[in-house]
Amino acid sequence: MKGYEAFADAIERLELLPVFGNPGSTELSSLKNIDDYILTHFDGIAVGMADGLTQFSSKPQLVNLHTILGLGNSMAYIYSAKKNRSPIVITAGQQDLRHANMEPLLWGDLVNFVGNNVKFRYEVKNASEIPSVLRQAKVEALTVPMGPVFISLPSNVMDENLDYLPPENVSVSYDFSDEDTENLVADEINNSKNPTLVFGWEIDLFNAFSEAERVAEKIGCPVFAEPLAHRSPFNSTHRQFAGNLLPGTTLINLKLLDNDLVVFVGGDVTLYPYLPSPLLEGKKVIFVGQNIDPKIGKFYKVNVKKFLNELEKKVVRKASYSRSVDYSLATKIANEKERMGATYVMSKIKKEFQDYVVVDEAISNSTVLRDVIGYSPGKYFTSKSGQLGWASPAAAGISLKTDQVLAIVGEGSFMYSVQVLWTIKNYDLPVKFIILRNGGYGILKSYSLSYAPGVEKKKFLSFDLPIEEIAESYGIESKVAGNELEELKWLREGKSSRLLVIDIDRTIPKLFL
Protein backbone atom coordinates (compact mmCIF):
# COMPACT_ATOMS: atom_id res chain seq x y z
CA MET A 1 0.00 0.00 0.00
CA LYS A 2 1.14 3.55 -0.76
CA GLY A 3 1.21 6.39 1.74
CA TYR A 4 -1.64 8.26 0.03
CA GLU A 5 -3.79 5.10 0.14
CA ALA A 6 -3.10 4.73 3.86
CA PHE A 7 -3.96 8.41 4.38
CA ALA A 8 -7.33 8.07 2.61
CA ASP A 9 -8.28 4.89 4.43
CA ALA A 10 -7.14 6.17 7.83
CA ILE A 11 -9.10 9.43 7.73
CA GLU A 12 -12.21 7.50 6.70
CA ARG A 13 -11.77 5.05 9.60
CA LEU A 14 -11.16 7.97 11.97
CA GLU A 15 -14.34 9.67 10.70
CA LEU A 16 -12.49 12.81 9.62
CA LEU A 17 -14.21 13.27 6.25
CA PRO A 18 -14.92 15.51 4.42
CA VAL A 19 -11.59 17.20 3.81
CA PHE A 20 -11.72 21.01 3.70
CA GLY A 21 -8.99 22.66 1.68
CA ASN A 22 -7.48 24.64 -1.16
CA PRO A 23 -4.86 22.30 -2.66
CA GLY A 24 -1.56 22.98 -4.38
CA SER A 25 1.06 20.81 -6.05
CA THR A 26 2.49 19.50 -2.76
CA GLU A 27 -0.94 18.21 -1.66
CA LEU A 28 -1.90 16.35 -4.84
CA SER A 29 -0.04 13.21 -3.83
CA SER A 30 -2.05 13.12 -0.57
CA LEU A 31 -5.36 13.48 -2.36
CA LYS A 32 -5.15 10.76 -5.00
CA ASN A 33 -7.75 8.61 -3.21
CA ILE A 34 -9.86 11.45 -1.72
CA ASP A 35 -13.22 12.30 -3.28
CA ASP A 36 -15.09 13.77 -0.30
CA TYR A 37 -13.47 17.20 -0.53
CA ILE A 38 -14.86 20.71 0.07
CA LEU A 39 -12.94 23.26 -1.98
CA THR A 40 -12.47 26.81 -0.73
CA HIS A 41 -10.78 29.62 -2.63
CA PHE A 42 -8.84 30.86 0.37
CA ASP A 43 -6.98 28.57 2.76
CA GLY A 44 -8.26 30.19 5.95
CA ILE A 45 -11.87 29.65 4.87
CA ALA A 46 -11.23 25.89 4.95
CA VAL A 47 -10.15 26.17 8.60
CA GLY A 48 -13.13 28.40 9.45
CA MET A 49 -15.60 25.95 7.88
CA ALA A 50 -14.02 23.02 9.71
CA ASP A 51 -14.10 25.00 12.98
CA GLY A 52 -17.81 25.81 12.65
CA LEU A 53 -18.78 22.26 11.73
CA THR A 54 -16.59 20.77 14.48
CA GLN A 55 -18.23 22.89 17.16
CA PHE A 56 -21.76 22.33 15.90
CA SER A 57 -21.42 18.57 15.39
CA SER A 58 -19.03 17.83 18.30
CA LYS A 59 -17.02 15.82 15.77
CA PRO A 60 -13.46 16.75 14.69
CA GLN A 61 -13.02 17.76 11.06
CA LEU A 62 -9.93 17.62 8.84
CA VAL A 63 -8.27 20.44 6.87
CA ASN A 64 -5.64 20.09 4.15
CA LEU A 65 -3.60 23.26 3.52
CA HIS A 66 -1.05 24.19 0.86
CA THR A 67 2.45 24.20 2.37
CA ILE A 68 3.77 27.10 4.42
CA LEU A 69 1.89 29.62 2.28
CA GLY A 70 -1.54 28.12 2.90
CA LEU A 71 -0.62 27.66 6.55
CA GLY A 72 0.33 31.34 6.72
CA ASN A 73 -2.93 32.37 5.10
CA SER A 74 -4.78 30.36 7.75
CA MET A 75 -3.05 31.47 10.94
CA ALA A 76 -5.81 33.80 12.14
CA TYR A 77 -8.35 30.98 11.73
CA ILE A 78 -6.05 28.49 13.47
CA TYR A 79 -5.64 30.93 16.36
CA SER A 80 -9.43 31.28 16.54
CA ALA A 81 -9.79 27.49 16.64
CA LYS A 82 -7.34 27.49 19.53
CA LYS A 83 -9.35 30.11 21.45
CA ASN A 84 -12.60 28.33 20.56
CA ARG A 85 -11.18 25.03 21.90
CA SER A 86 -12.12 23.47 18.59
CA PRO A 87 -10.54 20.02 18.01
CA ILE A 88 -9.80 20.23 14.29
CA VAL A 89 -7.08 18.18 12.61
CA ILE A 90 -5.00 20.37 10.28
CA THR A 91 -2.67 18.89 7.68
CA ALA A 92 -0.45 20.62 5.14
CA GLY A 93 1.56 19.32 2.24
CA GLN A 94 5.32 19.68 2.53
CA GLN A 95 7.93 19.79 -0.21
CA ASP A 96 9.80 16.61 -1.15
CA LEU A 97 12.24 16.20 1.73
CA ARG A 98 14.91 14.70 -0.52
CA HIS A 99 15.95 18.20 -1.55
CA ALA A 100 14.87 20.14 1.54
CA ASN A 101 18.48 21.16 2.17
CA MET A 102 18.22 23.31 -0.96
CA GLU A 103 15.20 25.19 0.45
CA PRO A 104 13.18 24.71 -2.75
CA LEU A 105 10.10 26.64 -3.76
CA LEU A 106 7.20 26.09 -1.30
CA TRP A 107 9.46 24.61 1.39
CA GLY A 108 9.29 25.87 4.95
CA ASP A 109 9.62 24.69 8.54
CA LEU A 110 5.91 24.05 9.01
CA VAL A 111 6.12 22.56 12.50
CA ASN A 112 7.89 25.54 14.00
CA PHE A 113 5.87 28.00 11.91
CA VAL A 114 2.53 26.84 13.32
CA GLY A 115 4.06 27.03 16.80
CA ASN A 116 1.98 26.97 19.96
CA ASN A 117 -1.21 27.82 18.10
CA VAL A 118 -1.85 24.07 18.06
CA LYS A 119 -1.72 21.45 20.82
CA PHE A 120 0.24 18.88 18.83
CA ARG A 121 2.50 19.30 15.78
CA TYR A 122 4.46 16.73 13.85
CA GLU A 123 6.04 16.14 10.44
CA VAL A 124 5.61 12.59 9.16
CA LYS A 125 8.99 10.93 8.55
CA ASN A 126 7.89 7.84 6.63
CA ALA A 127 4.68 6.33 5.27
CA SER A 128 4.34 3.78 8.07
CA GLU A 129 3.71 6.65 10.53
CA ILE A 130 0.70 8.01 8.68
CA PRO A 131 -2.12 5.98 10.34
CA SER A 132 -0.72 6.15 13.87
CA VAL A 133 0.09 9.88 13.69
CA LEU A 134 -3.41 10.68 12.40
CA ARG A 135 -4.93 8.74 15.28
CA GLN A 136 -2.60 10.37 17.81
CA ALA A 137 -3.51 13.79 16.43
CA LYS A 138 -7.22 13.13 16.86
CA VAL A 139 -6.66 11.91 20.43
CA GLU A 140 -4.64 15.04 21.23
CA ALA A 141 -7.27 17.31 19.68
CA LEU A 142 -10.06 15.75 21.76
CA THR A 143 -8.15 15.57 25.05
CA VAL A 144 -9.06 18.43 27.37
CA PRO A 145 -8.34 21.21 27.03
CA MET A 146 -9.40 20.57 23.43
CA GLY A 147 -7.88 22.39 20.47
CA PRO A 148 -6.44 22.17 16.95
CA VAL A 149 -3.54 19.89 16.00
CA PHE A 150 -1.18 19.91 13.02
CA ILE A 151 0.50 17.30 10.78
CA SER A 152 2.99 18.05 8.00
CA LEU A 153 2.80 15.58 5.08
CA PRO A 154 5.90 15.57 2.83
CA SER A 155 4.96 14.77 -0.75
CA ASN A 156 7.60 12.05 -1.20
CA VAL A 157 6.34 10.22 1.90
CA MET A 158 2.85 9.94 0.43
CA ASP A 159 4.22 7.87 -2.47
CA GLU A 160 6.23 5.48 -0.27
CA ASN A 161 5.21 1.86 0.32
CA LEU A 162 4.19 0.64 3.77
CA ASP A 163 2.77 -2.35 5.60
CA TYR A 164 -0.55 -0.83 6.58
CA LEU A 165 -2.02 -1.25 10.06
CA PRO A 166 -5.49 0.34 10.06
CA PRO A 167 -6.07 2.70 13.02
CA GLU A 168 -8.92 2.18 15.43
CA ASN A 169 -11.22 5.14 15.84
CA VAL A 170 -10.84 7.37 18.86
CA SER A 171 -13.14 7.62 21.86
CA VAL A 172 -12.39 10.13 24.62
CA SER A 173 -14.47 10.26 27.80
CA TYR A 174 -15.17 13.54 29.57
CA ASP A 175 -17.61 12.07 32.08
CA PHE A 176 -15.83 12.87 35.31
CA SER A 177 -16.51 14.98 38.33
CA ASP A 178 -15.17 14.90 41.86
CA GLU A 179 -17.18 14.45 45.04
CA ASP A 180 -14.76 16.55 47.07
CA THR A 181 -15.12 19.42 44.58
CA GLU A 182 -18.91 19.10 44.61
CA ASN A 183 -18.95 19.22 48.41
CA LEU A 184 -16.50 22.12 48.57
CA VAL A 185 -18.42 24.29 46.10
CA ALA A 186 -21.75 23.38 47.73
CA ASP A 187 -20.37 24.39 51.15
CA GLU A 188 -19.10 27.69 49.77
CA ILE A 189 -22.51 28.43 48.26
CA ASN A 190 -24.43 27.37 51.35
CA ASN A 191 -22.19 29.43 53.64
CA SER A 192 -22.17 32.55 51.47
CA LYS A 193 -24.40 35.55 52.06
CA ASN A 194 -25.18 36.43 48.46
CA PRO A 195 -23.82 34.03 45.80
CA THR A 196 -24.19 34.32 42.04
CA LEU A 197 -23.59 31.94 39.15
CA VAL A 198 -21.83 32.79 35.88
CA PHE A 199 -22.35 30.18 33.19
CA GLY A 200 -20.12 29.76 30.16
CA TRP A 201 -19.84 28.03 26.80
CA GLU A 202 -19.23 24.54 28.23
CA ILE A 203 -22.92 24.44 29.15
CA ASP A 204 -23.54 24.23 25.41
CA LEU A 205 -20.60 21.92 24.75
CA PHE A 206 -21.90 19.30 27.19
CA ASN A 207 -25.61 20.13 26.79
CA ALA A 208 -25.95 20.93 30.48
CA PHE A 209 -28.79 23.45 30.12
CA SER A 210 -31.37 21.56 32.19
CA GLU A 211 -28.80 20.88 34.93
CA ALA A 212 -27.80 24.56 34.97
CA GLU A 213 -31.43 25.65 35.26
CA ARG A 214 -32.16 23.23 38.10
CA VAL A 215 -29.14 24.40 40.12
CA ALA A 216 -30.05 28.05 39.54
CA GLU A 217 -33.64 27.40 40.63
CA LYS A 218 -32.52 25.50 43.71
CA ILE A 219 -30.22 28.33 44.84
CA GLY A 220 -32.54 31.10 43.64
CA CYS A 221 -29.70 33.44 42.66
CA PRO A 222 -29.25 35.54 39.51
CA VAL A 223 -27.45 33.89 36.60
CA PHE A 224 -25.08 35.76 34.28
CA ALA A 225 -23.38 34.81 31.01
CA GLU A 226 -19.60 34.92 30.92
CA PRO A 227 -18.14 37.96 29.13
CA LEU A 228 -18.14 37.43 25.34
CA ALA A 229 -19.40 33.85 25.44
CA HIS A 230 -18.73 32.20 22.08
CA ARG A 231 -21.48 29.61 22.54
CA SER A 232 -24.80 29.61 24.40
CA PRO A 233 -24.09 29.66 28.17
CA PHE A 234 -27.69 29.55 29.44
CA ASN A 235 -31.24 29.77 28.15
CA SER A 236 -31.76 33.52 28.11
CA THR A 237 -35.56 33.21 28.36
CA HIS A 238 -35.20 31.72 31.85
CA ARG A 239 -36.53 34.03 34.56
CA GLN A 240 -33.25 33.90 36.50
CA PHE A 241 -31.07 35.01 33.61
CA ALA A 242 -29.76 38.43 34.60
CA GLY A 243 -27.86 39.19 31.39
CA ASN A 244 -24.36 39.24 29.96
CA LEU A 245 -21.30 40.34 31.87
CA LEU A 246 -19.42 42.90 29.81
CA PRO A 247 -15.66 42.40 29.20
CA GLY A 248 -14.31 45.13 31.47
CA THR A 249 -13.13 44.74 35.06
CA THR A 250 -14.96 47.85 36.28
CA LEU A 251 -18.20 46.79 34.59
CA ILE A 252 -17.99 43.26 36.02
CA ASN A 253 -17.22 44.59 39.49
CA LEU A 254 -20.23 46.94 39.38
CA LYS A 255 -22.57 44.20 38.16
CA LEU A 256 -21.45 41.79 40.90
CA LEU A 257 -20.92 44.44 43.58
CA ASP A 258 -23.28 42.88 46.13
CA ASN A 259 -22.14 39.26 45.66
CA ASP A 260 -19.62 37.77 48.06
CA LEU A 261 -19.23 34.53 46.09
CA VAL A 262 -18.99 34.21 42.30
CA VAL A 263 -19.03 30.71 40.80
CA PHE A 264 -18.08 30.41 37.11
CA VAL A 265 -19.34 27.17 35.60
CA GLY A 266 -17.85 26.15 32.25
CA GLY A 267 -16.74 29.66 31.44
CA ASP A 268 -13.96 32.17 31.95
CA VAL A 269 -13.31 35.92 31.99
CA THR A 270 -12.48 37.61 28.67
CA LEU A 271 -11.42 41.24 29.03
CA TYR A 272 -11.16 44.14 26.57
CA PRO A 273 -10.06 46.89 26.76
CA TYR A 274 -7.81 47.46 29.77
CA LEU A 275 -9.43 49.06 32.79
CA PRO A 276 -7.44 49.71 35.99
CA SER A 277 -9.87 48.18 38.48
CA PRO A 278 -8.68 44.86 39.98
CA LEU A 279 -11.12 42.10 39.00
CA LEU A 280 -13.53 40.92 41.73
CA GLU A 281 -11.18 42.02 44.49
CA GLY A 282 -12.22 40.86 47.95
CA LYS A 283 -14.66 38.24 46.69
CA LYS A 284 -14.44 34.46 46.68
CA VAL A 285 -14.19 33.33 43.05
CA ILE A 286 -14.45 29.70 41.93
CA PHE A 287 -14.15 28.25 38.43
CA VAL A 288 -15.23 24.76 37.42
CA GLY A 289 -14.89 23.25 33.96
CA GLN A 290 -12.52 21.38 31.67
CA ASN A 291 -11.52 23.64 28.78
CA ILE A 292 -11.00 26.91 30.61
CA ASP A 293 -7.90 28.68 31.87
CA PRO A 294 -8.83 31.07 34.69
CA LYS A 295 -6.31 33.66 35.86
CA ILE A 296 -7.88 34.36 39.26
CA GLY A 297 -9.70 32.42 41.96
CA LYS A 298 -9.71 28.66 42.48
CA PHE A 299 -10.12 26.23 39.58
CA TYR A 300 -11.50 22.69 39.72
CA LYS A 301 -11.49 20.46 36.64
CA VAL A 302 -14.82 18.66 36.23
CA ASN A 303 -17.43 17.81 33.63
CA VAL A 304 -19.95 20.60 34.16
CA LYS A 305 -22.98 18.45 33.32
CA LYS A 306 -22.11 15.77 35.87
CA PHE A 307 -20.94 18.36 38.40
CA LEU A 308 -24.18 20.36 38.22
CA ASN A 309 -26.28 17.22 38.46
CA GLU A 310 -24.62 16.36 41.78
CA LEU A 311 -24.41 19.95 43.01
CA GLU A 312 -28.18 20.33 42.80
CA LYS A 313 -28.56 17.72 45.55
CA LYS A 314 -26.23 19.55 47.92
CA VAL A 315 -27.09 23.24 47.75
CA VAL A 316 -29.76 25.15 49.64
CA ARG A 317 -31.88 28.14 48.68
CA LYS A 318 -30.08 31.45 49.13
CA ALA A 319 -32.24 33.97 47.26
CA SER A 320 -35.45 34.47 45.29
CA TYR A 321 -34.25 36.30 42.21
CA SER A 322 -36.53 36.64 39.21
CA ARG A 323 -35.86 38.98 36.31
CA SER A 324 -38.33 41.84 36.11
CA VAL A 325 -40.18 42.50 32.86
CA ASP A 326 -38.61 45.27 30.79
CA TYR A 327 -41.69 47.30 29.86
CA SER A 328 -39.53 49.92 28.13
CA LEU A 329 -38.35 47.50 25.45
CA ALA A 330 -41.43 47.81 23.24
CA THR A 331 -41.16 51.59 23.35
CA LYS A 332 -37.47 51.47 22.50
CA ILE A 333 -38.13 49.17 19.54
CA ALA A 334 -40.84 51.49 18.22
CA ASN A 335 -38.70 54.59 18.66
CA GLU A 336 -35.80 53.02 16.74
CA LYS A 337 -37.82 51.93 13.70
CA GLU A 338 -37.42 55.07 11.62
CA ARG A 339 -33.65 55.24 12.04
CA MET A 340 -33.21 51.43 11.84
CA GLY A 341 -31.76 51.15 15.32
CA ALA A 342 -30.10 47.91 16.39
CA THR A 343 -32.75 46.96 18.95
CA TYR A 344 -35.53 47.32 16.38
CA VAL A 345 -33.59 45.34 13.76
CA MET A 346 -32.65 42.54 16.14
CA SER A 347 -36.21 42.22 17.43
CA LYS A 348 -37.48 41.72 13.88
CA ILE A 349 -34.74 39.17 13.14
CA LYS A 350 -35.58 37.28 16.32
CA LYS A 351 -39.25 37.08 15.39
CA GLU A 352 -38.48 35.55 11.99
CA PHE A 353 -35.43 33.40 12.78
CA GLN A 354 -35.92 32.32 16.40
CA ASP A 355 -35.45 28.64 15.48
CA TYR A 356 -32.23 29.21 13.51
CA VAL A 357 -28.61 28.76 14.52
CA VAL A 358 -27.15 32.28 14.68
CA VAL A 359 -23.49 32.84 13.81
CA ASP A 360 -22.60 36.28 15.11
CA GLU A 361 -20.09 38.72 13.68
CA ALA A 362 -22.22 41.83 14.01
CA ILE A 363 -19.32 43.29 16.07
CA SER A 364 -20.52 46.83 16.94
CA ASN A 365 -24.06 45.43 17.20
CA SER A 366 -23.20 42.13 18.88
CA THR A 367 -24.05 43.40 22.36
CA VAL A 368 -27.59 44.19 21.22
CA LEU A 369 -27.79 40.89 19.32
CA ARG A 370 -26.92 38.92 22.47
CA ASP A 371 -29.39 40.89 24.58
CA VAL A 372 -32.32 40.79 22.13
CA ILE A 373 -31.97 37.53 20.20
CA GLY A 374 -30.41 35.80 23.17
CA TYR A 375 -29.21 32.24 23.74
CA SER A 376 -30.71 28.79 23.46
CA PRO A 377 -29.14 25.31 23.22
CA GLY A 378 -26.90 24.90 20.18
CA LYS A 379 -28.17 28.13 18.61
CA TYR A 380 -25.38 30.71 19.10
CA PHE A 381 -21.79 30.74 17.83
CA THR A 382 -19.14 33.44 17.49
CA SER A 383 -15.35 33.53 17.57
CA LYS A 384 -13.68 33.72 20.98
CA SER A 385 -10.61 35.35 19.43
CA GLY A 386 -12.37 38.45 18.13
CA GLN A 387 -11.34 37.60 14.56
CA LEU A 388 -13.14 39.28 11.69
CA GLY A 389 -14.01 37.04 8.76
CA TRP A 390 -14.73 33.94 10.86
CA ALA A 391 -18.52 33.88 10.89
CA SER A 392 -19.25 33.41 7.19
CA PRO A 393 -17.03 30.31 6.79
CA ALA A 394 -18.19 28.93 10.15
CA ALA A 395 -21.83 29.29 9.09
CA ALA A 396 -21.02 27.53 5.83
CA GLY A 397 -19.48 24.66 7.77
CA ILE A 398 -22.47 24.42 10.12
CA SER A 399 -24.81 24.38 7.11
CA LEU A 400 -23.43 20.97 6.15
CA LYS A 401 -25.40 19.62 9.14
CA THR A 402 -28.45 21.90 9.32
CA ASP A 403 -30.44 23.90 6.80
CA GLN A 404 -31.32 26.50 9.44
CA VAL A 405 -28.26 28.69 9.91
CA LEU A 406 -28.15 32.47 9.81
CA ALA A 407 -24.94 34.52 9.70
CA ILE A 408 -25.38 38.07 11.00
CA VAL A 409 -22.31 39.98 9.89
CA GLY A 410 -21.16 43.58 9.52
CA GLU A 411 -20.25 44.63 5.99
CA GLY A 412 -16.60 45.21 6.88
CA SER A 413 -16.30 41.75 8.47
CA PHE A 414 -18.08 40.18 5.52
CA MET A 415 -15.38 41.34 3.10
CA TYR A 416 -12.66 39.47 5.01
CA SER A 417 -13.90 36.10 3.71
CA VAL A 418 -16.24 36.97 0.85
CA GLN A 419 -14.74 34.12 -1.25
CA VAL A 420 -16.78 31.69 0.86
CA LEU A 421 -19.75 32.62 -1.34
CA TRP A 422 -18.22 30.60 -4.17
CA THR A 423 -18.04 27.51 -1.95
CA ILE A 424 -21.60 28.08 -0.73
CA LYS A 425 -22.90 28.38 -4.28
CA ASN A 426 -20.82 25.50 -5.65
CA TYR A 427 -21.98 23.04 -2.97
CA ASP A 428 -25.50 24.50 -2.70
CA LEU A 429 -25.17 25.23 1.02
CA PRO A 430 -28.29 26.68 2.69
CA VAL A 431 -26.64 29.61 4.51
CA LYS A 432 -28.76 32.71 5.05
CA PHE A 433 -26.91 36.02 5.46
CA ILE A 434 -27.92 39.28 7.07
CA ILE A 435 -25.34 41.97 6.40
CA LEU A 436 -25.64 44.96 8.72
CA ARG A 437 -24.36 47.91 6.71
CA ASN A 438 -23.38 50.94 8.75
CA GLY A 439 -20.88 52.58 6.42
CA GLY A 440 -17.63 51.57 8.05
CA TYR A 441 -15.95 49.99 11.04
CA GLY A 442 -18.46 50.90 13.76
CA ILE A 443 -16.55 49.12 16.52
CA LEU A 444 -13.37 51.13 15.76
CA LYS A 445 -15.27 54.38 15.64
CA SER A 446 -16.80 53.59 19.02
CA TYR A 447 -13.40 52.70 20.46
CA SER A 448 -12.00 55.92 19.05
CA LEU A 449 -14.63 58.01 20.84
CA SER A 450 -13.40 56.65 24.17
CA TYR A 451 -9.68 56.17 23.64
CA ALA A 452 -8.55 58.05 20.50
CA PRO A 453 -10.93 60.98 19.97
CA GLY A 454 -10.97 62.29 16.44
CA VAL A 455 -9.84 59.12 14.69
CA GLU A 456 -13.48 58.12 14.20
CA LYS A 457 -13.68 60.86 11.56
CA LYS A 458 -10.81 59.48 9.48
CA LYS A 459 -11.73 58.41 5.97
CA PHE A 460 -10.07 55.00 6.36
CA LEU A 461 -12.72 53.94 8.90
CA SER A 462 -15.62 54.61 6.52
CA PHE A 463 -16.65 52.96 3.27
CA ASP A 464 -19.70 52.27 1.15
CA LEU A 465 -19.80 48.70 -0.11
CA PRO A 466 -22.33 47.38 -2.67
CA ILE A 467 -22.66 44.10 -0.78
CA GLU A 468 -25.77 43.02 -2.68
CA GLU A 469 -23.96 43.41 -6.02
CA ILE A 470 -20.91 41.53 -4.75
CA ALA A 471 -23.09 38.63 -3.57
CA GLU A 472 -25.01 38.54 -6.84
CA SER A 473 -21.71 38.25 -8.72
CA TYR A 474 -21.19 34.93 -6.94
CA GLY A 475 -24.69 33.79 -7.87
CA ILE A 476 -26.22 34.43 -4.42
CA GLU A 477 -29.71 35.97 -4.49
CA SER A 478 -29.61 39.31 -2.68
CA LYS A 479 -31.88 42.16 -1.62
CA VAL A 480 -31.67 45.40 0.34
CA ALA A 481 -34.25 45.67 3.13
CA GLY A 482 -36.74 48.45 3.64
CA ASN A 483 -37.71 49.92 7.02
CA GLU A 484 -40.49 47.40 7.59
CA LEU A 485 -37.97 44.56 7.16
CA GLU A 486 -40.58 42.50 5.33
CA GLU A 487 -37.72 41.06 3.26
CA LEU A 488 -36.85 38.87 6.25
CA LYS A 489 -39.66 36.54 5.17
CA TRP A 490 -38.13 36.34 1.68
CA LEU A 491 -34.74 35.58 3.23
CA ARG A 492 -36.12 32.63 5.12
CA GLU A 493 -37.88 31.07 2.13
CA GLY A 494 -36.35 28.01 0.45
CA LYS A 495 -33.18 26.07 1.09
CA SER A 496 -30.81 27.99 -1.18
CA SER A 497 -28.44 30.59 0.19
CA ARG A 498 -29.78 34.15 0.21
CA LEU A 499 -28.39 37.45 1.44
CA LEU A 500 -30.19 40.46 2.85
CA VAL A 501 -28.49 43.82 3.37
CA ILE A 502 -29.94 45.94 6.17
CA ASP A 503 -28.85 49.58 6.21
CA ILE A 504 -28.69 50.01 9.96
CA ASP A 505 -28.40 53.22 11.98
CA ARG A 506 -24.99 54.81 11.38
CA THR A 507 -24.86 56.61 14.73
CA ILE A 508 -21.65 55.56 16.48
CA PRO A 509 -22.66 53.40 19.48
CA LYS A 510 -21.21 54.02 22.93
CA LEU A 511 -19.58 50.63 23.63
CA PHE A 512 -16.63 51.59 25.83
CA LEU A 513 -16.19 53.62 29.03
- Residue 359 is predicted with a pLDDT of 98
Residue 268 lies in a domain: yes
* Overall number of domains in the chain: 3
The predicted model gives 83-101 an average pLDDT of 96
Asked if 123 and 103 touch (Cβ cutoff 8 Å), the reply is no
Instruction: Reduce the DSSP state of residue 369 to 3 states and report it.
Output: helix
Do 112 and 213 belong together in one domain? no
Are 354 and 212 within one domain?
no
Percent with pLDDT over 90 in the chain: 99
In a domain, 264, yes or no: yes
pTM of the model: 0.97
Same domain, 245 and 148: no
User: Are residues 486 and 341 part of one domain?
Assistant: yes
Domain with 253 in it: what CATH number?
A: 3.40.50.1220
Mean pLDDT across the chain, nearest whole number?
A: 97
pLDDT for residue 176 is more than 90? no
Q: Is 393 among the domain residues?
A: yes
Q: Tell me, yes or no, whether 116 and 197 share the same domain.
A: no
151 located within any domain:
yes
The C-alpha atoms of residue 156 and residue 487 are separated, in whole angstroms, by 54
Together in a domain, 188 and 90:
no
- Which of the four pLDDT bands, split at 50, 70 and 90, describes residue 32? very high
Q: Give the per-residue pLDDT at 246.
A: 97
Mean pLDDT of 186-194: 98
pLDDT classification of 413: cutoffs 50, 70, 90: very high
Looking at the structure, tell me whether residues 440 and 345 fall in a common domain: yes
pLDDT score for 409? 98
Q: Measuring CA to CA, which residue among 463, 468, 387, 477 is closest to residue 428?
A: 477
Q: Are 354 and 472 in a shared domain?
A: yes
Q: SS in 3 state form for 147-208? A: CCEEEEEEHHHHCCECCCCCCCCCCCCCCCCCHHHHHHHHHHHHHCCCEEEEECCHHHHCCC
- Judgement on whether residues 255 and 395 belong to the same structural domain of the protein: no
User: pLDDT of 376-395, one tens digit each?
Assistant: 999 999 999 999 999 999 99
- Residue 124 counted as domain residue: yes
Give residue 434's domain range. 329-503
Is 235 found in the same domain as 120?
no
Same domain, 480 and 386: yes
Q: Give the per-residue pLDDT at 159.
A: 96
Mean pLDDT over residues 269-291, rounded? 97
Let me know whether 305 and 333 are in one domain.
no
Contact between 340 and 504 (Cβ < 8 Å): yes
Domain membership flag for residue 513: no
pLDDT at 308 over 90: yes
